[in-house]
């Protein structure tokens, strides 16, 4: 790989990134090499187009929304720290993570609550803090494609929103979303084993 080093100390702000993301040095180094491989022009940042080259995102029905999460507030580029921060949501939860956590420290990015916040924002397109019926319909349409009729999809959407919507406002708040997923093992479902 020529000029690309394999030493973790060469990663800009490495100590801050390790502390904030919880990644091991070896995992962070692997992510850094992946970041560099995606940054073919060696700009030091990635664009949406760079991330669209990731095969798993290209075939994921929510791939565009996941890519959007790398670019908060209309940003057009993500540096390595931002890249690692987003991927930290998918780091598996270790049992000792929960038992040794200092309550004065921020909640880890890979905590159940932060994984749920990440998932919620994939649905809440207008960022109003609620998942509307239309937003739910859009996501379900992406996920099921043409496998069900529009009528069936509308029915599934209505039922999903109705079951989660406890306050009757026709939308799903973050707390309602969290409660509707309380029995789901989100820690496992939103984890990528290689990201330790």
pLDDT tens by residue, the chain, 196 residues: 444 446 777 888 999 999 999 999 999 999 999 999 999 999 999 999 999 988 888 888 888 889 999 998 888 999 999 999 999 999 987 755 555 666 777 888 988 999 999 999 999 989 999 999 999 999 988 888 777 898 999 999 999 999 999 999 999 999 999 999 998 888 888 877 665 5
- Give the CATH number, domain containing residue 82: 1.10.238.10
- What pLDDT is stored for residue 99 in this prediction? 56
- What pLDDT is stored for residue 2 in this prediction? 41
Q: Is residue 95 part of a domain?
A: no
Taking CB atoms within 8 Å and a gap of at least 24, the contacts of 75-78 are 76/47, 76/48, 77/43, 77/45, 77/46, 77/47, 78/45, 78/46, 78/51
Shared domain for 84 and 116, answered yes or no, is no
CB 24 within 8 A of CB 32: no
Number of separate domains in the chain: 2
**End-to-end CA gap in the chain:** 24
Domain that holds residue 52: 13-89
Q: Is residue 6 part of a domain?
A: no
- What pLDDT is stored for residue 82 in this prediction? 95
pTM equals 0.82
Q: CA 116 to CA 109: how far, in whole Å?
A: 10
Shared domain for 83 and 120, answered yes or no, is no
- What pLDDT is stored for residue 29 in this prediction? 93
- What pLDDT is stored for residue 8 in this prediction? 78
């Amino acid at each position: 790989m020529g000029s690309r080093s394999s030493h973790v100390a060469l990663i800009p702000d490495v100590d801050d990134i390790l502390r904030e993301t919880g990644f091991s040095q070896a995992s962070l180094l692997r992510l850094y090499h992946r970041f560099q491989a995606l940054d073919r022009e060696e700009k030091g940042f990635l664009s949406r187009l760079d991330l669209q080259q990731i095969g798993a995102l290209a075939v994921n029905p929510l791939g565009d929304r996941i890519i959007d999460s790398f670019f908060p507030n209309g940003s057009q580029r993500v540096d390595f720290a931002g890249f690692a921060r987003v991927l930290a949501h998918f780091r598996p939860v270790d049992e000792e993570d929960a038992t040794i956590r200092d309550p004065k420290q921020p909640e880890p990015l890979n905590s159940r609550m932060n994984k749920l916040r990440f998932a919620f924002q994939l649905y809440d397109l207008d960022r109003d803090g609620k998942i509307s019926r239309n937003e739910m319909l859009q996501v379900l349409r992406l996920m099921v494609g043409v496998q069900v009729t529009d009528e069936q999809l509308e029915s599934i959407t209505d039922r999903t929103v109705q079951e989660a919507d406890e306050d009757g406002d026709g939308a799903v708040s973050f707390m309602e979303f969290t409660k509707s997923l309380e029995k789901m093992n989100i820690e496992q479902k939103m984890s990528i084993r290689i990201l330790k």
